[in-house]
A and B are shown apart, each in its own frame.
Chain A
């Protein structure tokens, strides 16, 4: 969508909104689905947080290449041919819904699974939905800088090539953020333990 931002700002803005909204809907649906089973189990929030911490720790170790295991995402990308098979608006909404679900497309980093694990283990549908929606909003927000980075609507391929050089920095930020997620969970455990005692 970034090239459109160079030539048709109004249409691009509408497309970004549709794309983002569809992804938010998908995030909310997935969040509700993963947390609902846990919501019916007995609730020991300290144990839930401890399990979530271990999950995040495993993902952190994976990002640091200390251990290796495949993420359970489907190994596919969203289909660009939808653009020619249906109305453009529907295709954009479908792309947003597909990527926004976080599980139906290939993932570069493990972060989405940190949110899925926390949401699922806590068994709080609203929290899970909010975490996945926040994750999706972060992904979709990168659309906003796309047109600014392109010198022309035809330079997308070159831009993507250039961005690969930024990948190590993005991975470092991702790992540092996962450390913060882990720290937040540990602080939360400490807080709940104090309240319960």
Chain B
């Protein structure tokens, strides 16, 4: 029996890249805001989230 493939390989990769870039930009922006307000621990927590995201454990 033929294996069912994702709709479009390029689409899958593009979707992952697009979401990951969004997560990274959001995380770094929040980290920058936290730094601005003198909360480096909060900034690091935001960056930790982005670092964790790039490991893609759920997939």
Interface, chain A (partner B; CB < 8 A): 1-2, 99, 107-109, 111-112, 114-115, 118, 127, 130-132, 134-146, 148-152, 154-155, 157-160, 162-163, 165-166, 169-171, 173-174, 176-178, 180-181, 184-185, 187-188, 191
Contact = CB atoms under 8 A, between A and B. Distances in A.
Given A158-B5, A173-B20, A191-B38, A163 B51 contact: no
A107 B57 CA distance: 10
Nearest to A159: B6
Contacts of B56: 139, 142, 163, 170
B59 A118 contact: no
Contacts of A170: 16, 20, 54, 56
Interface in B18-59: 19-21, 23-24, 27-28, 31, 35, 38, 40-41, 43-59
Q: Is the interface of B mostly helix, strand, loop or mixed?
A: helix
Contacts of B9: 158, 162, 165
Nearest to A20: B58
Contact of A155 (B3, B21, B31, B35): B3
Given A148-B15, A165-B9, A177-B54, 18 more contacts: A107-B55, A114-B51, A115-B48, A115-B51, A135-B52, A137-B52, A138-B48, A138-B51, A139-B52, A139-B53, A145-B58, A152-B4, A163-B16, A170-B20, A171-B54, A173-B50, A184-B31, A187-B35
B57 A143 contact: yes
A165 B31 CA distance: 28
A181 B44 CA distance: 6
A116 to B, nearest CB: 11
A9 to B, nearest CB: 15
A139 B55 contact: yes
Contacts of B52: 111-112, 134-141
Contact of A177 (B38, B40, B47, B57): B47
